[in-house]
Amino acid sequence: ETIRIFIDCGEKLNAVDRFGVTPLAAAAARGRLDLVELLLSRGAEVKVENMPNCPFWWAARSGHLDIFRVLHNYPGAGLNSRDMGGSTPLAVAAEMSYNHIARILLSNGRTDANLADVFANTPLHKAVRRGNVGLVRMLM
């Protein structure tokens, strides 16, 4: 309810905090589907320029499949967006062993599975390091 009041009073939907996180990204990270849907219905941007950790990235990082599916369908969702270390949503899904998230990303045909982070690690490196044989097979 508090969020609704802020929105109704004209708060900026795409404002970023000192860490570069928008309200939509924070809601996605915390698994708050109700807030994600509210913010989207009021016009919150899924992809905000110059924001390293977009809401879609946070949904992948947090493993919230319901939120991930909602954001996945938005234009500009940031399928290959990167955090400050260069990790993509697929890379964080591999790092966290969220095969359900990785499967969706790989099935869309627009996700680049070969993007490396600043340490030259690809999602495949991360899956191997985690011993995630199922994801290694998906990535090969």
17-45 tens-digit pLDDT: 888 888 999 999 999 999 999 999 988 88
The DSSP letter of residue 103 is: H
- Mean pLDDT, to the nearest integer, of 127-135? 97
Amino acid making up residue 71: L
3-state helix, strand, coil in the chain (%, to 5): 50, 0, 50
More confident residue, 98 or 83: 98
Identify which of 7, 66, 55, 47 has the alpha carbon closest to the alpha carbon of residue 29: 55
pLDDT band of 48, cuts 50, 70, 90:
low
pTM here is 0.84
CA angle 86, 63, 34 (to 5 degrees): 115
- Mean pLDDT, to the nearest integer, of 67-91? 87
Task: Assess whether pLDDT exceeds 90 at residue 49.
Answer: no
**Chain center to CA of 91:** 11
More confident residue, 19 or 87: 87
Q: Which domains does the chain have, with CATH numbers?
A: 1-55+65-78 (1.25.40.20), 79-140 (1.25.40.20)
Q: At what angle do helices 99-107 and 65-72 cross, to 10 degrees?
A: 10
Residues 6 or more apart in contact with residue 124 via CB below 8 angstroms: 94, 113, 136, 139, 140
